[in-house]
Structure 1
Amino acid sequence: MSESGFFEEGSRVGVLTTQPLDRLLDYRAPEGGCFEGAFVEVPLGPRKVLGVVWAPGQGDFDAAKLRSVIRVLDVAPMREEMRSFLARAADYTLTPMPAMLRLATRAPGLGDPPSMRKIYRLGDGVPDRMTDARTRVLGVLRDYGGLAFTLKELAEMAGVTSSVIKGLVKQGAVREEDSPRDLPFPRLDPDRPGKALTEDQAAAAARLRDGLRGGGYGTTLLKGVTGSGKTEVYLEAVVEALRLGRQALVLLPEIALTAEFLTRVEARFGARPAEWHSGATMTERRRIWRMVGQGEAQLVVGARSALFLPFRDLGLVIVDEEHDTSYKQEDGVLYNARDMAVLRAATCGARVVLASATPSLETWANAEAGKYERLDLVARFGDAVLPEMRTIDMRAEAMQSGSWISPSLRRAVQARLGKGEQALLFINRRGYAPVTLCRACGQQIGCEHCDARMVEHRFLKRLMCHQCGETRPIPDTCPSCGAEDRLAPVGPGIERLAEEAAAAFPDARIAALSSDLFGSARALKERIAEIAEGGADIVIGTQLVAKGHNFPNLTLVGVIDADLGLQGSDLRAAERTFQLMRQVAGRAGRAAKAGQALLQTFQPEHPVIRAILSGDEEGFWKAEAAGRQAAGMPPYGRMAGIILSGPEAGPVFDLGNMLARNDAPLRRVNAQVFGPAPAPIARIRGRHRVRLLVKAPKGAALQEALAQWIAPLRLKGDLRLNVDIDPQSFF
């Protein structure tokens, strides 16, 4: 290999493939040679697989038997900083490198040659007659803001046959075009005027711009009360990144947030950015992946996996609502996107902005320690003021059986409706009821594949397991004793609350917002937009509604069960309850009308409830930090979770006990092992689960010790082991 990283034809190259292998594979460089970082197609047995030229060959395989790289793909090579990021992320999360490479190549058809294709856009014509099928096609095209689709994609998303689309093409309502497969994204204009900023906003934006101009890595906590205009401030940082010719990435915690955000970006820059998440079409994902690598996508707005796109020159990463638990990937590769954003930026010399009204304790502590800069926005934008917050003491309320809306909350809602304003009733439980009980035998209906209760979803007429997704019809008789008409729902969920609200407020238009009530992300976005425009009087919502939505006419938030998150022994129960209550209360009074948040609680004297009401956020964080520090818990100590699973409980426990007995590598770094014990949900999808928790001092070399600890294991049969560094949940 030359100093430029070029491998001449026939020389030995080490290729990392996406296949589950524990090492690089040696191949011969193809005709014309290849560069380090090149995406290649290589033979593996009878198959052709994707890989990246990672390093010179190891030389431990007979050169005469080496097979040649089949071809170099016509895409931008993986940059050295990206390879470094994947390797560092793999080391931190104890993830095999092939799995990391799969994260970085999640786009179809990367090896397809450039070609033309037929695409379909919204046309100017009007159909001679409208049908349901035609309405769905035009609705999809309008919802996606002028994006193009292939015939197959558009037909699938609209649920129609291709002939329906062809008929609309003939009438000019849909336009058919020939287009290259992957087009650059429209250029964003950083010189378009933005919104006028307040003095606080302008000062914060100036600090962010200065950081970008100074170059190099740095992380800033942008902490602002709900409605303070954090988005407008960090968009000014995007402006600066674009002016410097660098790319920017904005991570959002929820796909439903993207519609409103993309509209704001388009208004600010005159064009839409690239949009990367599970709702994007396969055609669009391939286009984004390729254009990002070529520098032809200046701004990407996306979910956590957007961190693994092959940016050519990433200069800025925004993590909006950085405290949100959805940034933690709980399946496959276990990582926290907030932490990986910081690692990615440190690797490529980019700036990070962590934005939140209620930051995670980890981020707050890093700012306190001086590792992160902190910028505060203390007032709401414009005429809006923070809502008045108070409790409703449920011990003093005359509640009817089977009712969850207190008389005091009913009166408050009725008063807001009388003024033509909107109210939000919040409960952090999906479905109709969390438990279905047989009144004859006392049996609770559980999932056949998990140790979890089935949740009734009455709107869907199904029982659903929220662990594995298993569903079945609501039975007429008890599956245990066979008794008829004795099954009863116990406890409230969002659907039951909507039913009660409909009876209590018969003239009100009620909208229930929960992710499982909508068949697609598009339908959910539509409903949120309708509500924001006044399309409902009362919103019944789960934590989905706490995530950054702006309902200008919403002036009252009623929290049905403020005590719910305080139950159990979760390390982060107090923190998450505080964050959720403050966030959901922040939906009220975001425009000129004053807002109010009422928290129904049986524990109004609880320290967390008192902290929520007082608004003494710094006092809460300091108290929470002191408790964690005294216990040596994160972020002042380190933790890792080990989840063992298998089809039979006995071998899983045997494996856990063997690990616990042979903990010498952990003791060398002063780490403790707790367990094995059944996981709180001890069976999911038919697999028995056993958990061990490892606790270590802050500075311990935990990953190295964990790697040594589990290295001797040889998992037999269908046993599996997963390591979760910095676990966010303990299920």
Structure 2
Amino acid sequence: MTPGPATAGGPDAGASLFGASRRVAVLLPVPVEAPYDYAVPPELEPLDPGALVRVPLGKRIELGVVWGEGAADVPETKLRPVLERLDAPAMTESLRHLVEWCAAYTLAPMGQVLRMALSVPEALDPPKPRTGYSARVSGLEGTSLRATDARRKVLEAAARWPSSEPPPSAADLARRAGVGPAVVKGLAEGGALAAVPVVEEPDIPPPDPRRPGPTLSPDQAAAADTLRAAARSGFSVSLLEGVTGSGKTEVYFEAMAETLAQGRQVLVLLPEIALTARWPERFRQRFGAPPAPWHSDLPRAQRRDIWRAVAFGRVSVVVGARSALFLPFPDLGLIIVDEEHDGAFKQDDGVPYNARDMAVVRGRAGGLAVVLASATPSLETVLNARSGRYTHVPLPRRHGGAEVPTPELLDLRAHPPEKWQRQGVPAQSFLAPPLLKAMEETLSRREQSLLFLNRRGYAPLTLCRVCGHRLQCPNCSTWLVEHRHRRVLQCHHCDYRTPLPQKCPSCEAPDALAPCGPGVERLAEEVAARFPKARMVVAASDTLLGPTAAAELMERIEQGAVDIVIGTQVMAKGHHFPLLTLVGVVDADLGLAGGDLRAAERTFQLLHQVAGRAGRAQRPGRVLLQTTDPAHPVMQALAANDPERFLSVEAETRNALMMPPFGRLVALIVSGLDERAVIEAGKALARHAPYAEDVEVLGPAPAPLAVLRRQHRHRLLLKAARSVRVQPLVRDWLAAVRLPPGVRVRVDVDPYGFM
């Protein structure tokens, strides 16, 4: 890789101590645009690209990666020396390429992208040794220690300790001998045992690719053959498109087995922690050992062990969230992006990258196969498959002969919900009579129902019945969500929380605050009143605290210990519940509001996925979508069970508007504490906006979420033809504008959200 323009090694660079030493460019995991030049002391040679080093930067010492030869445009006397080369595997060329490509595409500083690849710097230090105890040949001879039964037992246990295993700790040896640890330590102090430092790495059992998997259907077998061939043939991208319940996981397990048999590593990306909860168990059943997990809920010490094990090649399979893409695999052979359409693969904070797209970049750089799996693939991926850039691998039927249920539209204008009694007082209902009847029938058959509402908490808005005051977040331009079981109001953007007040904060009227609209907690209250004998559970991201809790709940549902599940999008995909035969979508129109470019596509994908939870195994399923707009194209496509119909209409609409994937979009979000300064900065950017053929700049205008964490936000949107290289345009555009203090511009190439 050719490094960017190198600069001096920090503001306090001193004269080089090595005369005409060789110089190298070192990239640091700090927000810098390019590597810095450093001198290489002779004792550190050879220092090749990818080597991990420590270098001075100002008055501190930084970790860095050798990126190539120095640029030779910094005087020798200003170079500072590389201080240390770490005893760790070098960063591979393919990962360095990913860092460079991601930075260039997203317009993020290279050092900021590198930080994602060096996310656990303590993993580069060798683990601290523990003290082990081994037997001396002479035993108690030559020591002043008196022979006792306890000491003899310890010495005998030490003598019998297998030489193939590291020397035991005091506790382990004492446990084997049936004595206390003090006896072991006393023998070591007396010279009868040798205390030796032992460096241990976690024992990670390898998966066995030769273990037989389940019998595949003809469709699955054909798909597996295609993916196995792809895993053997270098870089390729395959779209594994299968209806819900078609067995996509079992099919791509075959590609994983092929890759593992070659002795190479595999990465599986999943969009939700709830999915990573059960996936490892399916993998263990297939391959006899669990995969290594990677997500934000892991303890820091476990992240350190896994990062290090990946780097040293002791981990064969990692399953994790989008950040796992930047782990230091030395021999990665296959990347699988499951639920490739999911918006969770797009990072909003920090570097705004899409892990699905960057997986393809890493696959191309490393010459390895990439599999994108989904029941509802994104429009971008579908068009790439149709054009022949990706191999299309279809699974058109459910495994085992189960039928995919066709959703029924339940028009709330024709079937309005009827009020129910809360402590003798009529209460608002959110469930139409036909859905309630279907739930009763499902319960009578001892089958399960899922009520889907993608809204956490009790109510999305609380207002005063007397003065109309709405409870709003003090940091964001959003309403506070009531969480009744915790008696708090919470902002789901900045996490601001406040106790639920007893009177209106504006007019001070007591007991005047009223919840508006349903959340899953409010829906659970109604279900509990209507079906008091049913076993009910709420499944949302704030009730499933981590993968372990999610796995336990999914197991309870699978075993039939739950009758009614009320869930958000964590229940929409990746789960197999044999007894779940009814899915009711409480507000099917919810995701269509807001004018987001991908609102229709995301709504279709989410509802299609959640509908697919019904009717697995041999039990037929039923899906009811409550809507006030049954004529909407999304609803019509869902009712026809025709994804192709929806994608055709969506593609036609976006092509006419020159919107992605037929055009390019870049969002510029101007933010700061001073609203006037933000407005003026937005106007300055508009005055210097690029004017070119097939390029249009919209804005500035207040963002839909105009205040976020006390930061005022305005947006500009650059829209261009697909043939336009937008990155140079935006880079020159930003360079022409001097921002006032306290104002920053965040660039989002290919934005997914418009808040």
Q: If the length of structure 2 is used for normalisation, what is the TM-score?
A: 0.86
Matches within 5 A, 1:492-571: 492-571=518-597
2:684/2:737 contact within 8 Å kept: no
Partners of 2:624 and 2:211 in 1: CA distance: 41
The partner residue of 1:679 within 689, 703, 706 is 703
SS in 2 for 1:729: coil
Matched letter for residue 201 of structure 2: D
Q: Which amino acid aligns with 2:650?
A: E
Structure 2 residue 90 is the aligned partner of structure 1 residue 77: yes
Query: Quick check: 1:68 aligned with 2:48?
Result: no
How far apart, CA to CA, are the structure 1 residues paired with 2:551 and 2:297? 11
Within 5 Å, give how 1:406-485 maps onto structure 2. 406-485=432-511
Is 1:643 paired with 2:669? yes
1:180-219 to 2 correspondences below 5 Å = 180-183=199-202, 185-213=204-232, 215-219=233-237
Determine whether 1:28 maps to 2:52: no
Aligned residue type for 1:293? A
Q: Select 2:54's aligned residue among 26, 41, 58.
A: 41
Does structure 2 conserve the Cα–Cα contact (< 8 Å) formed by 1:181 and 1:287?
no
User: Which residue pairs with 1:357 in the alignment?
Assistant: 375
Cα distance in 2 for partners of 1:170, 1:52 equals 50
Match among 66, 69, 72 for residue 59 of structure 1 = 72
Distance 1:509 1:648, change over 3 A: same
TM-score of the pair, normalised by structure 1: 0.89
Give secondary structure in 2 for the equivalent of 1:565: helix
Q: 2:738 aligns with which of 693, 714, 718?
A: 714
Is 311-320 or 561-570 further displaced after alignment?
561-570
Counterpart in 2 of 1:729?
753
311, 317, 325: which one aligns with 1:293: 311
3-state SS of the aligned residue for 2:713?
strand
Equivalent positions of 1:45-124 (< 5 A) are: 45-117=58-130
Q: Does 1:374 align with 2:392?
A: yes
CA distance in 2: counterparts of 1:108 and 1:425, whole angstroms: 44
In the alignment, the residues of structure 1 paired with residue 325 and residue 404 of structure 2 have an alpha-carbon distance, to the nearest angstrom, of 34
Give the letter for the 1:387 counterpart: P
Distance in 2 separating the partners of 1:578 and 1:548? 16
The alpha-carbon distance between structure 1 residues 365 and 424, as it changes in their structure 2 partners (threshold 3 A), is same
Matched residues, number: 672
Is residue 721 of structure 2 the alignment partner of residue 697 of structure 1? yes
2: CA distance, partners of 1:170 / 1:77: 46
**Residues 269-298 of structure 1, C-alpha deviations (whole Å, 9 max, x = no match):** 111121111122222222222222222211
**C-alpha deviation, 1:697, in angstroms:** 0.2
Q: Distance in 1 between matches of 2:530 and 2:223?
A: 46
Q: Which residue of 2 aligns with 1:155?
A: none
1:699 to partner: Cα distance:
1.1
Q: Residue 688 of structure 1 aligns with which residue?
A: 712
Q: Indicate the SS of the match to 1:523.
A: helix
Distance of 1:552 and 1:27 partners within structure 2 = 62
Whether the 8 Å CA contact 1:184–1:291 is kept in 2: the answer is no
Matched-pair identity in %: 51
- TM-aligned CA deviation for residue 79 of structure 1: 1.4
Q: Give, as a single letter, the amino acid of the residue that structure 1 aligns with 2:37.
A: D
- Kindly provide the CA deviation profile for residues 548-604 of structure 1, in whole angstroms up to 9, marking residues without a partner as x: 112221110001111112223111121111111110011111121111101111222
CA contact under 8 A between 2:406 and 2:641: conserved in structure 1? no
Partner of 2:187: none
SS at match of 1:395: coil
- Contact (CA 8 Å) 1:387, 1:585: kept in 2 or not? yes
The residue type paired with residue 530 of structure 1 is R
Output the CA distance in 1 between the equivalents of 2:647 and 2:546. Answer: 38
Corresponding residue to 1:659 among 662, 685, 704: 685
Please give the alpha-carbon distance, in whole angstroms, between the structure 2 residues aligned to 1:250 and 1:189: 17
Partner amino acid, structure 2, of 1:670? D
CA distance in 2, matches of 1:688, 1:117: 52
Rounded to whole Å, the distance in 1 between the matches of 2:416 and 2:269 is 45
1:42 match: secondary structure: strand
Mapped contact 2:22–2:39 kept (Cα < 8 A): yes
User: Alpha-carbon deviations, 1:650-670, whole Å to 9, x = none?
Assistant: 111111111111123xx2353
Alignment partner for residue 291 of structure 2, among 273, 285, 310?
273
- How far is 1:529 from its partner? 2.1
1:234-266 deviations in Å (ceiling 9; x for gaps):
010101111222211110111111131111111
After superposition, the Cα gap between the structure-2 partners of 1:181 and 1:678, relative to the gap in structure 1 and judged at 3 Å, is farther
Contact (CA 8 Å) 2:236, 2:390: kept in 1 or not? Answer: yes
Q: Give yes or no for contact 1:26–1:66 (8 Å, CA) kept in 2.
A: yes
- Deviation of the 1:336 alpha carbon: 0.7
Instruction: Tell whether 2:250 aligns with 1:232.
Output: yes
2:29 maps to what in 1? 18
Q: 1:206 to 1:235 in 2, by over 3 A?
A: same
- Partner of 2:454, secondary structure, is coil
- 8 Å contact from structure 1 (residues 9, 29) kept in 2: no
Return the match for 2:600 from 574, 580, 583.
574
> Contact (CA 8 Å) 2:406, 2:622: kept in 1 or not?
yes
What residue in structure 2 maps to residue 135 of structure 1?
none
Residue in structure 2 matched with residue 136 of structure 1 by the alignment: none
| 8 A contact 2:20–2:76 mirrored in 1 | no
User: Following TM superposition, by how much is the alpha carbon of 1:389 offset from its aligned partner in structure 2, in angstroms?
Assistant: 2.1
Q: Which moved more, 1:704-713 or 1:384-393?
A: 384-393
Q: How far apart, CA to CA, are the structure 2 residues paired with 1:54 and 1:14?
A: 5
Q: Name the SS for the 1:577 alignment partner.
A: helix
The reply on whether 1:399 has 2:425 as its aligned counterpart is no
Most deviating of 76-85 and 520-529: 520-529
After superposition, the C-alpha distances for 1:331-381 in whole angstroms (9 at most, x for unaligned) are 001011111111111111111111000111111111112111111111111
Output the CA distance in 1 between the equivalents of 2:618 and 2:369: 34
Equivalent-residue separation in structure 1 for 2:436 and 2:462 (angstroms): 27
How far, CA to CA, are the matches of 1:207 and 1:116 in structure 2?
A: 47
Pairwise CA distance, 1:675: 0.3
> RMSD of aligned C-alpha atoms?
2.3
Once residues 475 and 596 of structure 1 are traced to their aligned partners in structure 2, the CA distance between those partners, rounded to angstroms, is: 42
Contact 2:266–2:334 (CA<8 Å) still a contact in 1?
A: yes
C-alpha contact (below 8 Å) 1:511/1:536 kept by paired residues: yes
Amino acid of the structure 2 residue aligned with 1:256: A
The one-letter code of the counterpart of 2:39 is R
> How far did residue 12 of structure 1 move?
1.5
Report how far residue 319 of structure 1 moved. 0.5
CA distance in 1, matches of 2:521, 2:180: 43
Shift of the 78–108 alpha-carbon distance from structure 1 to 2, 3 Å rule, reads: closer
CA change 1:595–1:9 in 2 (3 A) is farther
Given that residues 292 and 310 in structure 1 are in contact (C-alpha distance below 8 angstroms), is that contact kept between their aligned partners in structure 2? yes
Distance, in Å, in 1 between the alignment partners of 2:103 and 2:634 is 37
Name the amino acid aligned to 1:498: A
How far, CA to CA, are the matches of 1:52 and 1:513 in structure 2?
Answer: 43
Q: Given that residues 309 and 315 in structure 2 are in contact (C-alpha distance below 8 angstroms), is that contact kept between their aligned partners in structure 1?
A: yes
